[in-house]
Amino acid sequence: MQITDIIDQALRSGRTRFAFELLPPLKGDGTAGVFGAIDPLMRFDPAYINVTYHREEVKYVGREGGLLEKHVVRRRPGTVGISAAIMKRYGVEAVPHLICGGQSRYDIEDALIDLDLLGVNNVLALRGDNLRGDRTFAPHPQGLSHASELVTQIAEMNRGHFIDGEVEECHHSQFCIGVAGYPEKHAESPNMETDMKWLKAKVDAGASYIVTQMSFDNRKILSFIERCREYGIGVPVIPGIKPFSTKAQLTLLPQTFHVDLPEELVREVERCDDNRQVREVGVEWAIRQGRELIEAGVPVLHFYTMGKTDNVVKIAEALFR
């Protein structure tokens, strides 16, 4: 089933659905950790499960004589495999993320072919972040610079066009494509207007819905949705909610995701004696955010779990039981 069908059903029934995002296992881990994170959430009838994609990292290993050996490694490969495994085990749609970073257009095409053969028909198309240590995003020499180009490649494949143009008569994939949106602006954008222009380019290229970067402020999420409509972006917008969970996130989240933390949330977290209390504050904040957004009629709430779902279970108890 396509995510847009699930969204349509949610909008028609007036029932906001629950979705969450997981990381693929670390290299060397099996499926147990991921399944262990999903199991307690299944009773809330998730609409679908997103699986993040992690690009390569450069690692140097010391060798005799002071030489350094360079390795290009991926610590969390397996996005395609675990997505198919989730669908097989739970019968729920998986939405693998696919990024431009570190891949040629041919690598991307191969990944799409694998997904299509596995019956995974939904993808979230992203540019991906810079290679760790790089100040700017450098595309693969035969790769793509922006998510809009990735959306175009996927949409072209849906139309039966492969990169080398060799295949003429073929089976057409039917990928439903989601993209990222930023209620508080993408860090590299000079301003919100420019960011919205490029967001529209992704939708015009073939994206059918938008998932937002985390925001802890519903006013910003709702005004972003309004802004999308003003810019002629009519596709559904799925708000992304991250349950706040450690004191260190007071600085880590703004630094990593370029989001502001509301003063009230900061005050509540600062009052906590330990991270167990912070986790409780985070759960309460997410429940409040979720309630308001459900009231505002959003079709799906997307929860960022970072692989740990105990707090999302508590939030889902309050919102989706």
Q: What angle do CA 203, 208, 210 make, to 5 degrees?
A: 75
Q: How far is the CB of 192 from ligand FAD (least distance, A)?
A: 10
Q: How far is the CB of 218 from ligand FAD (least distance, A)?
A: 17
Enter the tokens of residue 225: 């949705």
Tell me whether residue 126 or residue 233 sits nearer to ligand FAD (CB atom): 126
Q: How far is the CB of 307 from ligand FAD (least distance, A)?
A: 12
**Residues near ligand FAD (CB under 6 A):** 52-53, 55, 97, 99, 126-129, 146-148, 180, 186, 188-189, 194-195, 198, 201-202, 211, 213, 240
N- to C-terminal Cα distance for the chain?
23
> Across the chain, which distance is largest between two alpha carbons, in Å?
68
Annotated catalytic residue within 21, 93, 149, 184: 21
* Residue (of 191, 255, 241) closest to 212 by Cα position: 241
Respond yes or no: is residue 292 known to be catalytic: no
Tell me whether residue 30 or residue 190 sits nearer to ligand FAD (CB atom): 190
Q: DSSP character for 55? A: -
- d(CA 67, CA 128) in angstroms, rounded, equals 31
Beta bridge partners of 63: 67
Q: How far is the CB of 258 from ligand FAD (least distance, A)?
A: 9
* Residue (of 233, 138, 235, 217) closest to 178 by Cα position: 235
Tell me whether residue 85 or residue 214 sits nearer to ligand FAD (CB atom): 214
Tell me whether residue 103 or residue 173 sits nearer to ligand FAD (CB atom): 103
- d(CA 214, CA 131) in angstroms, rounded, equals 22
Question: Which residues are the active-site residues?
Answer: 21
